[in-house]
Amino acid sequence: MHGYSRLGNGRSVTATTTPSPPSSPRLRHGRGKTGGTGGGFGGVGGVGGGGSRSSKQNLVERLIFILVSVVFRRRGVLLFAPLMYISGMLLYMGSLNFDVDLNLKSGGVVVRKRPPPGSVYRSPQVFEKLWPYMETESNGSNNALMTAWDPKLRNGWKPCGNGNNETSEAELPKSNGFLIIEANGGLNQQRLSICDAVAVAGLLNATLVIPIFHLNSVWQDSSKFGDIFDEEFFIHALKNDVDVIHELPRDVLEQFDNNISSIINLRVKAWSSPTYYLQKVLPKLIQMRAVRIAPFSNRLAHAVPPDIQRVRCLANFEALRFSEPIRTLAEKMVDRMVKNSSQSGGKYVSVHLRFEMDMVAFSCCEYDGGEEEKHEMDMARERGWRGKFRRRGRVIRPGANRVDGKCPLTPLEVGMMLRGMGFDNTTSVYVAAGNIYKAEKFMAPLKKMFPRLETKDTIATAEELARFKGHLSRLAALDYTVCLHSEVFVTTQGGNFPHFLMGHRRYLNGGHAKTIKPDKRKLALLFDKPSIRWEVFKRQMKDMLRHSDHKGSELRKPSGSLYTFPMPDCMCKPPEARAKDNSTLILNSKLLAR
């Protein structure tokens, strides 16, 4: 029995050796002679009697003669001279982990071992040095918020018509069975599972049961699908492409003794191809009438045929919207941020700050908390990842992690970066975060740099947030919405939240993410220099902002996710934009031909 799928069907080379030229013969100079050729250097003492040169010049020339003679007679010096020069320059430039102090009065030399780059958290010293310069540029007259993104870099992308127009008036073909999936993890991990499940259901011509949310041991959120997303809207938006139902029909459930756990659970490998689903899953679906895939995280490959991608796009960018209670409060929060940003035309900056205790602990990075901090992080690592960081052979190198860009940026570092980019103290900043590690200490300098700083706890009232407390996914949905509508979004540590948000922002902003993605390796080196000058720091930060602007309109690569890079799968260029691109390409070709 065959199921129906609506979406797919040399020569070797001999090296020649050139002999080395013979070494130069030693120059032999006659001692005590004042004339003659003597190998070309012997006559510097007084050709023609010496009366035409002053005694001072003769002395200099004799010194030069002696120096050159020593070098050529002792060829070993020539071998060590380059090494001595390179070593001296490395010490001078700081490439070696030593500081060299020369005391000209006493003639002494002091050599001190310098801590490796990144091994010490020096950002507070950098801030102390740069803060006076930041204060002088706090008048709001030239805020980077108004000019952060170059309009010339917009490419005219618009959302494609992702709905299935061909079947808009026709009924879907008879279903091959029912697909049940479990979505685990946090808000955006669940989002990933839901959208991939829609695509797989379309591929198999299966009826998708509203996904079950697995209670995650970390998130500890008991929310169901309808608590976070608008269930009725989701079903309606997909009706022309995939049949979605609230729950399994009674007769099917009775077949499995009214217990969903009795339904066969297919263990699907991560990133499975459409072919795998058609060959392995579809036969079981037809045979059993219902199959279950749990867990269903990352169970569909990125690179799939266009029809499957189209359904993914529809699910993520159109069908999935937050539930009415979340939307209502989130819209109020956005309106308040816009009102607070009247001085900048309603534009504000949002920052996804990953500086919670578990993130700091997992990164194995050290800040300035000393032994108390080390003890707290050891305890947190043991609670969250029992024994993982104490395995034999596991070496924790906080300095190496920082230089490699793996340490979470502190609120202080985010603030300095933004001020260096030109965002002054009149900028409204929204911080999306969990419980910041030692918030009172670490958030204070960020508030000092940006007095108009808000979080969900300050922009919304305690009464408004009461119904969401204890539900981390719902609180994350509020953060997601406020960040989605900001003029500038700053990601600091990666993860599903910024990846989905960048894709959604591209979808709404003509293909541009309007996102600052800092070079954390470069930042680590800059924050390791307490003596850095403000002008140098600003130049580096503005270069980083320009780089983020140029990378804002990236297209999806074969290994990339359309949830982060929606072009060209989910977005299209209108004919006028394509014509403009073609004319620009022709003009550039003519210029290159000249």
Name the most confidently modeled range: 14-28, 106-120, 474-488: 474-488
340 in the same domain as 284: no
Amino acid at residue number 376: E
Lowest pLDDT segment from 29-43, 230-244, 363-377: 29-43
Check whether residue 432 and residue 315 sit in a common domain.
Answer: no
> Residue 287 to residues 178, 245, 279, 318, 412: CA-CA distances in angstroms?
11, 20, 13, 33, 59
CB 100 within 8 Å of CB 109: yes
Domain identity same for 126 and 182: no
In a domain, residue 591? The reply is no
State residue 140's pLDDT score: 65
Q: What is the mean pLDDT of residues 466-473?
A: 94
Residue 40: its pLDDT value, please? 41
Confidence of residue 22 (pLDDT cuts 50, 70, 90): very low
Range among 54-68, 151-165, 267-281 with highest mean pLDDT value: 267-281
Token readout for 152 is 């010339």
Same domain for 305 and 335, yes or no, is no
Confidence category of residue 92, pLDDT binned at 50, 70, 90: very low
Same domain? For 420 and 476 the reply is yes
**Does 236 reside within a domain?**
yes
* Co-location of 341 and 237 in the same domain: no
pLDDT at 74: 55
Please indicate, yes or no, whether residues 143 and 197 belong to a single structural domain of this protein: no
Q: Is residue 560 part of a domain?
A: no
- Is residue 475 domain-resident? yes
Predicted confidence band of residue 578 (pLDDT cuts 50, 70, 90):
low
Q: Which residue has the higher pLDDT, 465 or 162?
A: 465
- Beta pairing, strands 108-113 & 98-103: antiparallel
- DSSP, collapsed to helix, strand or coil, labels residue 35 as coil
Asked if 403 and 347 sit in the same domain, the reply is: yes
Q: Mean pLDDT across the stretch 64-79?
A: 56
Q: Indicate whether 81 pLDDT > 50.
A: yes
Q: Does residue 442 sit in the same domain as residue 340? A: yes
Q: Residues 245, 345: one domain?
A: no
Mean pLDDT of 53-72: 57
- The predicted model gives 37-58 an average pLDDT of 44
Domain for residue 48, yes or no?
A: no
Is 556:562 a contact under the CB 8 Å cutoff?
Answer: yes
350-393 per-position pLDDT tens digit: 999 999 999 999 999 999 888 999 999 999 999 888 888 888 87
DSSP-derived secondary structure for 550-578: HTTTPPPPTTS-TTT--TTTTEE--HHHH
The CA distance from 407 to 403, in Å, is 8
pTM metric for this prediction: 0.80
Task: Collapse the DSSP code of 122 into the 3-class scheme (helix H, G, I; strand E, B; otherwise coil) and give the result.
Answer: coil
Cis peptide before 295 (omega within 30 of 0): yes
Total domain count, the chain: 3
Provide the pLDDT for residue 55: 56
Candidates 433, 465, 422, 428; CA nearest to 447 is 428
486 and 341 together in one domain: yes
Domain hosting 248: range is 178-321
Note whether 484 and 538 are same-domain residues. Answer: yes
The pLDDT mean for the chain works out to 84
- Residue 296 covered by a domain: yes
The fraction of the chain above a pLDDT of 70, given in percent, is 75
Residues 354, 444: Cα–Cα separation, whole Å: 16
CA 543, chain centre distance (Å): 16
pLDDT (0 to 100) of residue 161: 77
